Every structure is written in C-alpha cells, then in structure tokens.
Structure 1
Amino acid sequence: MQKTLFITLLLLSFSCSWAQEKTTDSTKTSKAKSKNIDFNIMPYISYNRTLDFMFGAIPMMMYKTDQTDTISPKSLSGLTAIYTTNKSYFVCSFNKWHFNEDKWRAQLFAMTGNQNSQFFMDDFDAPTFYDYSTKTTLISVSLLRKIFKSFYGGLGYTYAHYDTTYQDDIQPASTSHTNGLQTILLYDTRDAIYYPTKGNKIRARWISYPEWFGNEVNANKIISEYNSYFSVRNKTDVIAARFAGKFGLGNIAFEQQVTIGNDDIRGYSEGKYRGDGLMAIQGEYRYNFHKRMGVVGFAGVATIYGSDTPSFDWKLYPGAGVGYRYRAFKNEKFNVGLDGAVGKGDWGIYFRIGEAF
C-alpha cells in the first residue's frame, strides 16, 4: 500500500553508544575494542497536511553481524512508533542485514497501523477530497545473493491485509489481503551503502499477485529505479540523480495504487494524484559544509497513469525544495534530516532517515 507519511517540522535527536571489551588472553591486558553497535533514538514532533500533528520516536542501531567481516557494511535495525492528532497511528520494524562479506543481503519490514487519509474524486458535480480510513498489517521479507561482482539476484514475499472504510460511503467498505511474490535484480557499484559518493544502483522488482497464491484477482507490479552518484568539490559534495518507475499491470486495488509524493517527487502531501503507475526523474545536490552537517537542494518531475480522474493522467507534476542533514552516527556516514518541498498546488515537509535515494 502506498503510504503518504511526510513528517517533521521539528526534529530533536540525541545518540548514545557503548563500547565492548574483549579479553584475548588471560596473561595479557584487556584492550578496548572499537564498538560494534551504534545506538540512536530520535523523538520528533511534526505536522502533515493530511495527518495533522504527529509525534513519536524512532530508536535504531547499526552493527556488524560478524565482527571478523571487514567487507560487509554495517547492518541497520530500528523501530518506528507514530501517533497523529487525526487519530492515525503506525508501528513498524525495519531491518537491513549484510552477511558473509556482503555476498548476502536481507531485509525485513513489518508494520501495523490505522491511516486516516484522503483521496480526490471528480465523479460528481462538486469534485473534492473524501476521507478514508485503512487499517493495515504488512510484512515484507527479501533475500539477495551476489551472483558476480556487483550483480545480485533474489526473491521476496509480501503479505498485506487491508480494512478500508470511506467517508459518506462514497465507495463500499472493503476488507482484503494480498500475497505478493517478488523477483529482484540489483546492480550496485556504490562506494557506500548509506551515503554513496560515486557509482550506480539499478534495481528492478517484479511483484506478482496470482490467484493461486490466495489473491482475489491477478495483478502484477514492476518497480524500478536507477540512481547515479557523482563526487564533486574535491570529493566533499555529491550530485545524485534518479529515475523511478512504478508500473501496475492488471487489476490494481485502491490500496495498491501509487501516489505522487514521498521520495520520488517531494512536494505533494494531499494524496490528490493517485494512479496505477508512476514515472519520475529528479536530481539532488548534497552540500556538506561541516563534518557532521549539510544541506541539499533538489528538483524533479513526475507523471502518472491509470488515475480514477482521467484528466490527471500523463500530465507533468514538478517538485523542488531544500533540506538539512545531520550525521546521526559518529562512526558511520548516515544522515537524518528535514526536507521542505513545493509541488503543483501542494507542499510537503519530510523527515529523513537516510537520504531520499
């Protein structure tokens, strides 16, 4: 399900960490080892045009799955708990693991929550937004294996359960679940996972929802991305470029549709432009004026198809904005921050865990 979660006008963060000691020989003096775990908690208060005021906390940690592995990047695990004044809530767990000299990569995401949001309809004399509420439970897992050099392949599975009701019964209430099977291809030449300064990331996912796997109707989605990174200003700053395509094929349910906004084109938070598929291009300049701080500027354009409002299809929707970055972990280049962006008759505030892409 496409979620519109644009958060944070105020970000308060603090971090704490610990070091572990290990005795290598009873006849030798113990020596302090570099810490294996970086731990960080980020409380926040925010406002969103759809969800109103939000507050919560995001504890997370970075760590080595094997301290003897000097090639794999650190893994990342965290929790997110959010409550909004429009009575929405979200609790989720996110995990990214790297094993065996980065020959294996795994992800696990689990979420439950209730989103009180809105969508746009023009089927009547007075086109307007209508509220809807969706209770969602979602679990997604994937596993990738390096095939050769920078090329990975793997499989994934996603289960989602939706219970949706609409304002004024504008559409019938629905309860549904989906079981998605993923085939994943990844080409990754980035010099760093969490803050690349050069290289490319090309990823394609085919997600199938076959009837024989417990789905009510057959549907397929293709989700693709092509990110490229260039180091500039004596390797201090980064220029990043991205193409993203999300293509719905077959019977795409309301909850499975995509909405312009979030990472692909920032600047849209009303949930107005919704359809079966989306394409977007954008560029970003990442200016690092301090060892642990920086600012970004970005701009892009998107289009959609398969909208319930046909006049929205294949139009251009630009977005542009600026943001602030702060290095969350002392021993790892991993940023958190705030983005503010404007779009076509819309705007958004975004809380970042890591970069947009």
Structure 2
Amino acid sequence: MKKVLLVFIILILPYYKAWTQTKISDSISTAKAKTKRVDFNVMPYINYNRTLDFMFGAIPMMMYKLDKTDTISPKSLSGISAVYTINKSYFIASFNKWYFKEDNWRAQLFLATGNQNAQFFVDDIDVPDFYDYGTKANMINFSLQRKVIKALYVGIGYAYAHYDTKYEDDIEPGSVSHTNGLQLNVMYDSRDEVYYPTKGDKIKLRWLNYPTWFGNDISANKIISEYDKYFPMRNGIDVFAARFSGKFGLGNIAFEQQTTIGGNDIRGYSEGKYRGDGLIDLQAEYRYNFGKKMGLVGFAGLATIYGSDTESFNWKLYPGAGAGFRYRAFKTEKFNVGLDAAVGKGDWGLYFRIGEAF
C-alpha cells in the first residue's frame, strides 16, 4: 500500500495563500493614514478541525518596506505561526513574501516543522474506514520572480519536504520519505493591489518537476494553474471574486504528490478523504465590507478529482459553500484576517484566515 501524505492543513490554508497578495488603502476610509515603515501585530489563533480537534496558538507578523526610498513596491510580509492541537499535533512555520527593486523582483520563503496526528481513508480492506497516523515533517519552499514586461513575472523555485510516518495498528509499515522539487513559474498580475485586490486579474502557471537525479524515489511532474478575477462592487466598497484552479499530475504520481479537496480548493472538506492525482475547481466569493475594519464573505464552488485510489471518487462533483467574517489586521494596510465556516459533501470545516482565500 502506498505511503500517506502529510497534509499540513493548519499551515497551508491560512499562510501559503497570504504570500500572493499586498497593500491597499481602505476604500471605506475617507482619510489615508500615514504610512509606517513597519506595521507589527500579534494575532491569537483559535480554530477547530474535524481531524486535528481544537487548535490554539499565536501568529506574530509584520509588514514593512525593504527600501524606504522605494515608493512602487508593495510592503513585504513576514510572520511566524506556532500552533498546538488537542490531539497533540503541533506546527511551527515562518512565512515571508518580499517585494523589492520597484516591484521588479518578488521572492517568497516558507519554512515549517511539525508533528501531525491525523487520519486517512482506506477502502481496499474488509471494512473501509478512516485510520489514524502520525507524521513528523519538515518543509522548505523558496521562489524568486522577475518582471519581464508590464504585469508579467517569470521565476524559478525549489521545494523540499521530509516525512517520517507511523500508522495505527500497523495497517501500513512505517515510512520515511522526502521530495525535492524544481519549479518554473509564470504569473500575469494586473490586480490593483495584492493583499486586497478590488479589480484586475491574476493568472499563474507553475510546473513542478521531481526528477530521480535530484534525490526523488519516483520521477513525477505537476502543472498547477490558477486564474483569479476581481470585480469592484458598490462603487468599489465590495468585491466579487471568481477563481479557476487546476492541479494536474503527469506521469507516475506518488501518494505524497497527490492533491486533496479542501482548504483553498473548495472549503468544506476537512477529513482529507477525497484525494487524487489531479483536481479541478471553480469558485466565487462576494466580499462585503462595513465600517472601517470589518467585513463578511459568502462563497460557493464545485470541485472534481481524478486518479484517486478509490475509483468511485473520480470525476464526481464535490460542492462546497459557506460564509466568513473578516477583520482588518493592520492600521495602515488593507490586510484581513478572519474565520470561515463551510459545508461540503458529507463534510464541513472551519478555517482561520490570514489574508483572503484567493
């Protein structure tokens, strides 16, 4: 039986997507606050997940200018998250997004370590069911992009992950594995702002290669595509956002490189049940703002997967819908944190957010 992937639900959902967005003046405020060199805040973290149970921790983060004379680049973002769960899992992560040289260069660095006590679905036994497992993991992800023409960025990246997994009742042998991934990426970004866009497009295409000569047990490729579109509503106070996302596994895709429905790819799935070699989803979200620091969101979408070990899961439609609350985390920058609640097909989830879902 294949090895089980460590899914860093608590890390990927709130942090990874926060890298790809930046500053905006509050469209509701009539007076712009004085720009500070560094904005610092500490956010408490309280959440619940059907797999990890109750989670709590703290997230100190700051927004800042790498060069105070650079008036074009958005502010950079750095933070640390430390989270502990009732089922004795823990996660520590550092997330960084840097903008510099008048926004001609963009870079990001993500580091994480932790121990996840979770579950996975097994159907090739007498009684199909979820089984517990524990995985210790370390992850590194770095990428660098250069603007080649207006709004078009091209870059390279590297991703490393190491997993040490043990299974309940020895349903599978314990395993130790690692992956080394090389990345080429292209992004077209015409958004008016990156942390809270009100109009424009973000089109992103990434090719990830896991060659055997680079220390991988199995050679594999993945293509990840994203298209996010933003429409201003109510004279620019609110935003309607739409998203297409496709993750396509090519060749011999190992379990560790499969994708799972959940998180930013259709909220409402927290059990990690539906996973396969590829995933396609469509989403829409309305972002309603009131007051100077608060807002509400409503969202819905559909996803499908292929290449699942459970053949009956392939090419079925998996809906998800929900609502959430937003709160402005920084005084001088439009950057939201919040909490989403969503339901899916036989599943549901709560999601603490740093930045928007997309």
Give the root-mean-square deviation of aligned CA atoms: 1.5
- State the distance in 2 between where 1:34 and 1:337 align: 23
> Which position in structure 2 is the counterpart of 1:344?
345
> Which position in structure 2 is the counterpart of 1:29?
none
> Which position in structure 2 is the counterpart of 1:98?
99
Give 1:239-254 correspondences, 5 Å limit: 239-254=240-255
Instruction: Report the alpha carbon displacement of residue 115 of structure 1 after superposing the two structures with TM.
Output: 0.8
Moved more, 245-254 or 170-179: 245-254
1:304-329 deviation per Cα after TM superposition (whole angstroms, max 9, x unaligned): 11111110011000000000000100
- State the distance in 2 between where 1:93 and 1:62 align: 14
> Which position in structure 1 is the counterpart of 2:31?
none
1:220-243 deviation per Cα after TM superposition (whole angstroms, max 9, x unaligned): 111110000000111111000000
Q: For structure 2, which runs of at least 5 residues remain unmatched after alignment?
A: 1-5, 14-33
- 1:327 counterpart = 2:332: no
Moved more, 119-128 or 155-164: 119-128
- State the distance in 2 between where 1:233 and 1:34 align: 26
What letter matches 2:65 in structure 1?
K
What letter matches 1:249 in structure 2?
L
What letter matches 2:235 in structure 1?
N
**In 1, are the aligned partners of 2:233 and 2:239 still within 8 Å (CA)?**
yes
**In 2, are the aligned partners of 1:7 and 1:351 still within 8 Å (CA)?**
no
Instruction: Give the secondary structure class of the aligned counterpart of 2:265.
Output: coil
- State the distance in 1 between where 2:343 and 2:355 align: 21
- State the distance in 1 between where 2:180 and 2:199 align: 36
Give 1:125-144 correspondences, 5 Å limit: 125-144=126-145
What letter matches 1:182 in structure 2?
Q
Instruction: Give the secondary structure class of the aligned counterpart of 2:256.
Output: helix
What letter matches 2:192 in structure 1?
D
Instruction: Report the alpha carbon displacement of residue 87 of structure 1 after superposing the two structures with TM.
Output: 1.0
What letter matches 1:242 in structure 2?
R
> Which position in structure 1 is the counterpart of 2:77?
76
Instruction: Give the secondary structure class of the aligned counterpart of 2:334.
Output: strand
- State the distance in 2 between where 1:92 and 1:171 align: 29
- State the distance in 2 between where 1:276 and 1:5 align: 22
What letter matches 1:77 in structure 2?
S
What letter matches 2:251 in structure 1?
G
Instruction: Give the secondary structure class of the aligned counterpart of 2:202.
Output: strand
Q: Which structure is higher in strand share?
A: 1
- Normalised TM-score (structure 2): 0.91
Instruction: Report the alpha carbon displacement of residue 250 of structure 1 after superposing the two structures with TM.
Output: 2.4
Give 1:192-211 correspondences, 5 Å limit: 192-211=193-212
Q: For structure 1, which runs of at least 5 residues remain unmatched after alignment?
A: 9-32
**In 1, are the aligned partners of 2:247 and 2:279 still within 8 Å (CA)?**
yes
The runs of 4+ residues in structure 1 deviating greater than 3 Å are: none
Instruction: Report the alpha carbon displacement of residue 213 of structure 1 after superposing the two structures with TM.
Output: 0.9
**In 2, are the aligned partners of 1:4 and 1:271 still within 8 Å (CA)?**
no
Larger radius of gyration: 1
> Which position in structure 1 is the counterpart of 2:108?
107
- State the distance in 1 between where 2:240 and 2:69 align: 33
Instruction: Give the secondary structure class of the aligned counterpart of 1:332.
Output: coil
1:247-284 deviation per Cα after TM superposition (whole angstroms, max 9, x unaligned): 12223232322111001100001111111111110000
Instruction: Report the alpha carbon displacement of residue 127 of structure 1 after superposing the two structures with TM.
Output: 1.1
Instruction: Report the alpha carbon displacement of residue 34 of structure 1 after superposing the two structures with TM.
Output: 4.5
- State the distance in 1 between where 2:88 and 2:255 align: 21
What letter matches 1:5 in structure 2?
I
**In 1, are the aligned partners of 2:47 and 2:351 still within 8 Å (CA)?**
no
1:126-168 deviation per Cα after TM superposition (whole angstroms, max 9, x unaligned): 1110111111111111000000001000100011111112222
- Normalised TM-score (structure 1): 0.91
Tell me the matched-pair count: 333
Give 1:256-335 correspondences, 5 Å limit: 256-335=257-336
